[in-house]
Structure 1
């Protein structure tokens, strides 16, 4: 499923927990909106993300340092928050894995909806 939301749309106000996490997007919009808020709270972190660094966030997918494996797995929640932190539109296809490479470490991260991949990694 393609999840898209324009950066020009306002952050939702007053949505309850169920609306944020159990709607059709499964919480991706909520993660993206939190990333947008975090962009205002921590401009230095946002600048690092804008430079292509996969900064550490609450969701699995950030890179502190390179590991011996060629890649690791991350959640789509991370990807959504990272896109918001960078000031980008939310643009995720949940049916596809998305691979990004951290500009600081060179580590590749495969963002996936398949929780078995990142739970075992």
Structure 2
């Protein structure tokens, strides 16, 4: 069964929610991450441009890359993916049950965004940014 979280870029940012509603609801905090991405795009247009160009810059969640590593693949958080979509000015579109692969246009690093936290927390130290 799909656990797709979708939210239109045309919707306003939510207000008045408590911590539990923001981070523990059915979306697991993805909507909040996406909203933060939207806000950061307005404050940091250069960062938004990097994302629009297909780069995966280092953000507050695992998944960004600042250089190529020996191993050209790594895992990232779905929260990173949600924030990245917000930075790009896109609709939020993440499935909590699926992995999604993106390649950074600048470093050519391949990042698999996964709902399985153990994959990105257990990466060898070499892949940590």
TM-score normalized by the length of structure 2:
0.92
Question: In 1, distance between residues paired with 2:17 and 2:37?
Answer: 17
- How far off is 1:13 after superposition? 1.1
In structure 1, what is the Cα distance between the partners aligned to 2:60 and 2:32? 13
Query: What is the SS of the residue equivalent to 1:67?
Result: coil
Task: Please give the residue correspondences for 1:79-118 in structure 2 after superposition, counting only pairs within 5 Å.
Answer: 79-118=81-120
Which secondary structure does the structure 1 equivalent of 2:6 belong to?
strand
| Superposition map of 1:44-55 within 5 A | 44-55=46-57
Q: Is the 8 A contact 2:41 2:88 kept in 1?
A: yes
Distance 1:41 1:84 in 2: 13
Structure 2 unpaired stretches of 5+: 124-129
1:14: which partner in 2?
16
1:12-45 CA distance string (max 9 Å, x none): 0111111100110010000000000000010000
Range 12-21 or range 81-90, more displaced: 12-21
User: What is the CA-CA distance between 1:69 and the residue it aligns to?
Assistant: 1.0
Equivalent residue number for residue 127 of structure 2: none
Question: What is the TM-score when the length of structure 1 is the normalising length?
Answer: 0.98
How much is the aligned-residue C-alpha RMSD, in angstroms? 0.6
Superposition misfits of 4+ residues, deviation over 6 angstroms: none
CA contact 2:85–2:92 (8 Å) conserved in 1: yes
Aligned residue pair count = 121
Q: Which residue of 2 aligns with 1:26?
A: 28
Superposed displacement of residue 95, structure 1: 1.1
